[in-house]
Amino acid sequence: MSPRLELLHQAPAPTAARLAPPLLFVHGAFCGAWCWREYFMPWFARQGYDCWALSLEGHGASEGRDYLAAIGVDDYVRNLDAALKQLPAAPVMVGHSMGGYVVQQYLSRHKLPGAALLASVPPGGLASSSLRLLTQAPALFLKLNMYQHGLYDPEFIELKDMLLSPDAPESAVELLISRCQQESQRALMDMTLVNPLANRPLTRLPALVLGAAEDRLVGPEDVVATARRLDVAADILPHLGHMMMLDTRWESAAEWLANWLERQFPEDWDQALSA
């Protein structure tokens, strides 16, 4: 039996609606659909996009908190499949961090009109970024692991330094403190013990890969590795931290994504599709 999943929806005004696929936002580790509701969903709805955001199993208001540790990446992929059945059409998936990795796994088995990966865990998983964090910021690496095991609650300034840019608003940090949760240990292991030879090829599709210049968790080399797998160029946006959808300059990421969407799905997109 499939779990009940939280699926937030924000429709555009009828007069502003675009002839484009809906957007399905997929959050990263320790988060939920709530991270998209602050800025991205209202902003993209104003641009005419039909916006949806999924809380993966065990996250947000979705079922599964009581067995979170046993949930794996394959379960998250099945969550995407279940969410798509509730959408009016196949979406462009917008995956952040772990959500970007889950979207990649989905794309190895299914087709989509397009995908945008923001600060995504790369195809090789977390091993390289964990090693980099261990060597460059061992205290941060230790605290992340302690937080995952419920042994540490990060202080305000530490959470800001970890996930946002230096001038991020206090409200963004307070939201993260109040809403972040533990992640599935099995899912984290799935993304750490990755066999590169097991990565299935992805069907070619319109894709955008964005990184953040001040991201302490997903480095430029990780962004490039993800872009290489999708056969596109990597774009690194300045003055943004890992949680780019909540950071001070979140709108620069939204505009970059919107410009890409407009190029992929122009006003006569549906006519070209049916021609």
* Predicted model pTM: 0.92
Q: Which residue has the tokens 């240990």?
A: 185
Residues 109, 77 contacting (CB under 8 angstroms): yes
CA angle, 84 as apex, 78 and 85 as ends, to 5°? 100
Pair 119, 218: CB distance under 8 Å: yes
* Paired strand residues for 23: 51, 92
What per-residue confidence (pLDDT) applies to 136?
63
Beta bridge partners of 26: 54, 95
Question: Sign of the CA dihedral 80, 86, 90, 91?
Answer: negative
Q: pLDDT tens digits, the chain, 275 residues: what are they?
A: 789 999 999 999 888 889 899 999 999 999 999 999 999 999 999 999 999 999 999 999 999 999 999 999 999 999 999 999 999 999 999 999 999 999 999 999 999 999 999 999 999 988 777 666 656 666 665 666 655 555 456 666 777 888 999 999 999 999 999 999 989 999 999 998 887 766 777 888 999 999 999 998 899 999 999 999 999 999 999 999 999 999 999 999 999 999 999 999 987 655 544 44
Nearest residue to 205 (alpha-carbon basis) of 127, 123, 103, 122? 103
Alpha helices in the chain (DSSP H): 34-37, 40-46, 73-84, 98-107, 127-136, 138-148, 156-163, 170-179, 185-192, 220-230, 250-264, 269-274
**Element at 239 (helix H, strand E):** none
> How far apart are alpha carbons 95 and 5 in whole angstroms?
17
